[in-house]
């Protein structure tokens, strides 16, 4: 055999190895996701809607998801994207605080005709809507 043929065979073997490895990894991830999908868990659908799983019908491939209190939608079972884990934040002094378990300070919002506006001052790095300017701001620009 010549050198280019050996190289092509080695590349083919490596390609086949990665194909089988990725398939096994995807199957393991899918099996892990199915064990986590139990009624009552918070989840995100593949099209971005967050909700709480109410029930799964394995025979009809239908799941019921509560997206708001009293609002339940029926979706295909394959649209259940991922389980949403509670966010755990660690402060500077090393204390771990979970935002889901503690009734921590969540920002409150007031509504105007266009957007929800935070009632408190924005945190560092938080976006501020500059399209709603007061008359004093426009007077400074003039």
Residue ranges of domains in the chain:
1-33, 37-101
Task: Note the Cα 1 to chain centre separation in Å.
Answer: 52
pLDDT mean over 53-57: 92
Regarding predicted confidence, which is higher, 67 or 119? 67
pLDDT given at position 30: 85
E strand or H helix at 130:
none
Q: Looking at the predicted structure, is the pLDDT value of residue 124 above 50?
A: yes
Lowest mean pLDDT among 30-39, 74-83, 97-106: 97-106
Return the closest-CA partner of residue 113 out of 137, 129, 135, 136. Answer: 129
pLDDT given at position 111: 56
Given this structure, which CATH class describes domain 37-101?
Answer: mainly beta
Q: Looking at the predicted structure, is the pLDDT value of residue 120 above 70?
A: no
């Amino acid at each position: 055999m010549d050198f280019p043929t050996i190289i092509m065979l080695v590349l083919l073997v490596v390609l086949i190895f990665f194909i089988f490895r990725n398939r096994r990894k995807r199957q393991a991830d899918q099996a892990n996701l199915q064990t986590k999908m139990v009624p009552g868990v918070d989840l995100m659908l593949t099209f971005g809607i967050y909700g709480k799983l109410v029930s799964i019908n394995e025979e009809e491939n239908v799941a019921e998801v509560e997206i708001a209190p009293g609002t339940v939608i029926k979706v295909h079972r394959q649209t259940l994207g991922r389980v949403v884990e509670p966010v755990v934040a660690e402060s500077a002094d090393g204390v771990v605080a979970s935002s889901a378990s503690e009734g921590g300070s969540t920002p409150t919002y007031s509504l105007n005709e266009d957007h929800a506006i935070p009632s408190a001052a924005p945190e560092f790095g938080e976006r501020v809507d500059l399209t709603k300017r007061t008359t004093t701001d426009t007077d400074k620009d003039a």
